[in-house]
């Protein structure tokens, strides 16, 4: 494995994050803080406890997951799109570095940036609610798994997109709505039976449910089902990326 090449790609992407620090780190933290103020304080004061948890505390895992998903997809998509846009992707493809190492560099950097944002939001949440975490190890594992999976998904989007408009379609019109409808701000059990069944077709439900379990020990879906569904999505993304490099889809044209 060419560790030097992986390190070069990784550090270049991380350096780009520090150059755009306000957009990459500060902006999502401020946006999430506004969610805490509006939903946690203004609306939360009018909503009773959910499964013995105050509403302000209940929405913390959902808000962190919302940031993780959107940031992972956006960071990875833009990270691989710009080399395609500028033409430097051909220099990378012709270099003595495998496709596996390229993916590790770009996806690793995108996941790292997302986790940094998630941790900052987690710390920020303590200023708004009295937060408690039951399973720290599982919380970190879910953060890591989610960041890696959706960074891979963003990598796919960055290769598929042939314009800046397409880069924004999936995060804005797919990821964010699925997260809002995946139980970020409510429990699935609060829905009618019909809509509960429909909601289970939303893959984000399993991520949010598992992540919330790591905080409070309660979930809408069995924790093992959440883990299995998360890995299914992860392996699906890995297979698609393998196919892209094998066929040269939008890379060799």
Decide which of 191 and 10 is more confident: 10
CA distance linking residue 207 with residue 132, whole number of Å: 19
User: Which residue shows structure tokens 């429909």?
Assistant: 198
Q: What is the pLDDT of residue 41?
A: 67
Give me the count of residues in the chain: 253
Q: Over the stretch 137-168, which tens digit does the pLDDT of each residue have?
A: 999 999 999 999 999 999 999 999 888 878 88
How many C-beta atoms lie closer than 10 Å to residue 224's C-beta?
9
| Alpha carbon 19 to its chain's center | 21
Do 69 and 150 touch, CB atoms closer than 8 A? yes
Once rounded to an integer, what is the mean pLDDT over residues 14-42? 77
Do 77 and 65 touch, CB atoms closer than 8 A? no
Helix axes 99-125, 136-160, angle to 10 degrees: 130
Mean pLDDT, the chain, rounded, equals 86
Q: Over the stretch 73-86, which tens digit does the pLDDT of each residue have?
A: 999 999 899 888 88
User: Cα 72–78–82 angle (5° rounding)?
Assistant: 155
Res. 190 pLDDT band, cuts 50 70 90: confident
Q: What is the pLDDT of residue 225?
A: 92
Q: What is the pLDDT of residue 210?
A: 93
- Say if residue 1's pLDDT is above 80: no
Helix-strand-coil percent breakdown of the chain, rounded to 5? 80, 0, 20
Q: What is the pLDDT of residue 252?
A: 67
Q: What is the pLDDT of residue 105?
A: 92
Q: What is the pLDDT of residue 192?
A: 87
**Would you state the structure tokens that stand for residue 230, as one six-digit string?**
């998360």
CA distance linking residue 238 with residue 223, whole number of Å: 23
Do 54 and 44 touch, CB atoms closer than 8 A? yes
Q: Over the stretch 29-78, which tens digit does the pLDDT of each residue have?
A: 788 778 777 776 666 667 777 878 888 888 889 889 988 998 899 999 99
Res. 253 pLDDT band, cuts 50 70 90: low
């Amino acid at each position: 494995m060419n560790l030097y090449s992986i390190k070069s790609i990784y550090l270049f992407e991380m350096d780009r994050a520090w150059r755009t620090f306000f957009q990459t780190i500060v902006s999502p933290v401020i946006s999430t803080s506004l969610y805490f103020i509006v939903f946690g304080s203004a609306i939360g004061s009018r909503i009773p406890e959910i499964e013995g948890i105050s509403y302000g505390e209940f929405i913390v895992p959902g808000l962190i997951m919302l940031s993780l998903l959107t940031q992972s997809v956006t960071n990875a998509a833009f990270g691989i799109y710009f080399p395609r846009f500028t033409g430097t992707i051909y220099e990378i493809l012709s270099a003595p570095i495998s496709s596996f190492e390229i993916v590790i560099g770009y996806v690793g950097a995108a996941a790292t940036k997302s986790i940094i944002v998630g941790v900052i939001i987690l710390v920020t949440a303590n200023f708004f609610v009295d937060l408690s975490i039951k399973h720290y190890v599982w919380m970190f594992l879910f953060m890591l798994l989610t960041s890696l999976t959706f960074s891979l998904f963003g990598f796919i989007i960055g290769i598929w997109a042939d314009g800046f408009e397409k880069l924004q379609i999936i995060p804005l019109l797919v990821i964010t709505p699925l997260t809002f409808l995946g139980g970020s701000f409510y429990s699935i059990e609060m829905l009618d039976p019909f809509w509960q069944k429909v909601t289970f077709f939303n893959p984000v439900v399993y991520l949010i449910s598992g992540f919330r379990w790591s905080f409070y020990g309660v979930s809408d879906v069995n924790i093992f089902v959440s883990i299995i569904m998360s890995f299914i999505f992860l392996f699906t993304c890995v297979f698609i990326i393998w196919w892209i490099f094998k066929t040269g889809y939008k890379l060799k044209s």
